[in-house]
Amino acid sequence: MLSSFPNQKVVAETLRRSLQSGRLAHASLFVGPDLNEMEAMAIALAQTLHCENPPSRSEESGLNTDACGVCRSCTLIAQRKDSNVRWIYPESKIRIITTDQIRQLISSFQLKSLSGSYEIAVLCGADRLNVQAANAFLKTLEEPFPGKLFILLTHDAQKILPTILSRCRQFIFEGINRPLIESDIREWLNVFAQTAAASTGGIISRYSLLAPMVSKLADMQAAIETELKNNSPLSLYPDAEEKQKERWEKELQAAIASEYRRQRSAMIGAVELWLRDVWLTLVTGAFPETAHFPDLQAATETVAGRITEKQARENLKNVGQIIKSLETNIQEALILEVFLLKLSL
């Protein structure tokens, strides 16, 4: 129910007013640190639109403005068994929302609803749309289907195409800003932080961090190439005309490069967040409650205990420089090597 979100009163009330006036956007973007809470709000909105015994209804729009939460429709939606509500999550090893997923969604939305009710698609992790999927989805947003609603969930709106953002109404969720870190990157960061904490501070220790970082990026690149090639039209239609295959090849290479840059940025960003935890520990004199990685407290405190606040600030400055340098033509391995040698750990 929309009335059951005491920590998100602004979002809930804005949605209620939109229902009251009948001006609910055909595409809404939920931005916040807690994906589970945003999913719960999406469920509450879907329940409100489909509730069989609504506690309140707008005379102006004829739409429900809240849900009972217990009727058959509300129960099915909460259990994610209602065919009117589709849930789309990143798939595959590289965790992306694929073009096939979007095409299947568009195809199903082109059919007339048998119930005559709103049909809703919830994209969980909308920042994980790959290039082709994002462009396919954009066309749908530009020419929306009547009675079809999209709810996009993300913790980082900056990773979504600006053209998609411009066609969505944004709802900002309150909460501690702890970005969602993908499990494989979090696992890698755990090893990175533990290795840094166990280091002696010398050059050899820095190189002990370089090898796993380069190895992780290489594995990442290989996984992306394999996944996108397998899903490319080049693999599905080997007998296509040469010009068409050339165009697909260019799109494929662009998609691989784009996805690799995104995942590499996420990896470096995770290091930056951990170094920020180290800096905050030094500034406040204690491990902060707002730390991005509570499970790395021991490693964070170990590193914070042997460097100065100035060195911690320089570490953050160096991360900012490496992010910029990686967008140049300088060799990636060299940039990473220089970065690690500059770190104070």
**Domains observed in the chain:** 2-168 (3.40.50.300), 183-342 (no CATH)
CA distances from 52 to 24, 46, 65, 323 (A): 19, 12, 12, 52
pTM beyond cutoff 0.75:
no
- Averages of pLDDT over runs of 10 residues in the chain (345 residues) are 79 88 89 86 92 87 86 90 89 80 85 70 89 84 83 86 86 67 86 88 77 89 87 80 85 84 86 90 86 91 92 87 80 88 86
Q: State residue 148's pLDDT score.
A: 87
Q: State residue 118's pLDDT score.
A: 85
Q: State residue 297's pLDDT score.
A: 94
Q: State residue 151's pLDDT score.
A: 94
Query: How far apart, in whole angstroms, are the C-alpha atoms of residue 81 and residue 330?
Result: 51
**Helix H or strand E segment including 87:** strand 85-88
Q: 159: closest CA among 252, 25, 31, 322?
A: 31
Q: State residue 298's pLDDT score.
A: 95
**Helix H or strand E segment including 305:** none
Q: State residue 28's pLDDT score.
A: 92
Q: State residue 263's pLDDT score.
A: 85
Strand-pairing partners, residue 154, are: 31
Q: State residue 150's pLDDT score.
A: 93
Q: State residue 259's pLDDT score.
A: 83
φ, ψ at 222 (rounded to 5°): -65, -40
φ, ψ at 169 (rounded to 5°): -90, 125
Q: State residue 114's pLDDT score.
A: 54
Q: State residue 178's pLDDT score.
A: 55
